[in-house]
Amino acid sequence: MKLALVLLAVVACSSDGKRAEAPVKKPGTLTEADRRAAIGDVSALSPDLQRAFDPIDHEPMHPPGLNDWLDAHPEPGQTFAQHQAAKFPTPDDARHVLYLLPLGAFPADAPSLPALTRLVHAYYGLDVRVLPAVPLESVEAKRRGVDRYGDPAQILTTDVLKWLVPRVPADAYALMAITMMDLYPRDDWFFVFGQASFRDRVGVQSFARQDPAFFDEERGPGWKQLALRRAAWTIIHELGHTFGLHHCVYFECVFAGANHQAEADRRPLHACPVCTRKLHAALELDPATREDALADAFGTLDLDDEAAWSKRRATWIRSGAR
C-alpha cells in the first residue's frame, strides 16, 4: 500500500494529489501579490467571507534561518486553487468524526487529552472522540532502541500508519494516534514530531518531545502549559494534512513546516488566510462563529494570546471593526 505522507520535522512531504508545477521562489521572497494570488479571487464572496480571507493581521512568512524548515526544504507551497483541484476527501454524512487513539500509557503530567479534544472540536467543527487506549505491544510496527546520540526508544511511523488504516472507524473522517513513544520515519532519520496521510485519513503524533525534560532542560514554571501548547500545535497541524493541506509557505501559520522545536514554538496556532479558505471549503463553517469557538477553547487552555487573536478576528469578520 502506497501512503501519501506528511512528515513534521526534518522530513519533506509528498502527496498523491495532482497539482500544477510552479517554480520555487527563494524562501522569504514571496510578494504580497504572490500571497493574495495564493488566497485566490474573493471578489464574488460575501463581505464577511472576504474579510475572513483577508491577510490583515497575518504576518508574512519570515525568511528562514539556518536549519529552519524552508532552509532545508524550499517547498513551492499550495495555493487555494491547487488544493481545490486535487479534490481531497472532505467530511460527509457517513464520515464526520475525528477519533484520537492513545497508544500505550500516559503519565499524569502528560498534555491533557480532554483539553486537546475541546480544541480540535473548535478548530475543525467536527465531533471528536477518544478511543480506548491500545497497548503499544499490540501495534505491529518496527522499533529501534537508544542510538549513538542517546535518543530513547522509537517506533516507525510508516508502520504505525499502515497499522491504523484498517482500524479507521466507519464514521470517522480521520483517526489520529497519540503516543508517549518517540517517532522516526525511516532508518536514516533521527525523529519526527508526527506524520499523517493526505488520502488515508490517518496520522500519529508523539508527546515525547513536548516535554522540556526530553531535551534535558529544566522543567521551569509553566512547563505543563508549554507542553500542552506544543501538543496542540502538532495535533492541529497533522490533522490539517488529512484535509489535504500542504505545508504553508505564505504566512506565519500553524500549517507551516517546522524543522526543530524552537521553530515550532515560534509558529502561531491560528491558520493563515490561504489555509483558512481551504478549511472553509472542506468544512463549510461560519468563520466568525469558528473564531468565537476557538477563543473560548484557547481561553479554557489559558492560551490567552491565541484567544485574544481569535476574538479580534471574529469582530473583524463580522463588522470590519478593528
Q: Is the CB of residue 70 less than 8 Å from the CB of residue 35?
A: no
Alpha carbons 267 and 174: distance in angstroms, whole number: 24
Alpha-carbon distance of 130 to 38, in angstroms, equals 35
Q: Is 137 a catalytic residue?
A: no
Q: From the CB of residue 56, how many other CB atoms can be counted at a distance below 10 Å?
A: 10
Q: How many CA atoms lie within 13 A of 214 on its CB side?
A: 21
SS3 state at 207 = coil
Neighbours of 117 (CB within 10 A): 18
Q: Is 187 helix (H, G, I), strand (E, B) or coil?
A: coil
Q: Which run of H or of E encompasses 196?
A: strand 194-197
The residue with cell 532545508 is 72
Instruction: Give me the phi and psi of 105, to 5 degrees please.
Output: -85, 155
Would you say 282 and 90 are in contact if contact means Cβ atoms under 8 Å apart? yes
Identify whether the C-beta of residue 142 lies closer than 8 Å to the C-beta of residue 152. no
Question: Residue 38: how many CA atoms within 13 Å on its side-chain side?
Answer: 25
CB atoms within 10 A of CB 45: 15
Catalytic pick from 137, 238, 252, 263?
Answer: 238
Catalytic positions, please? 238
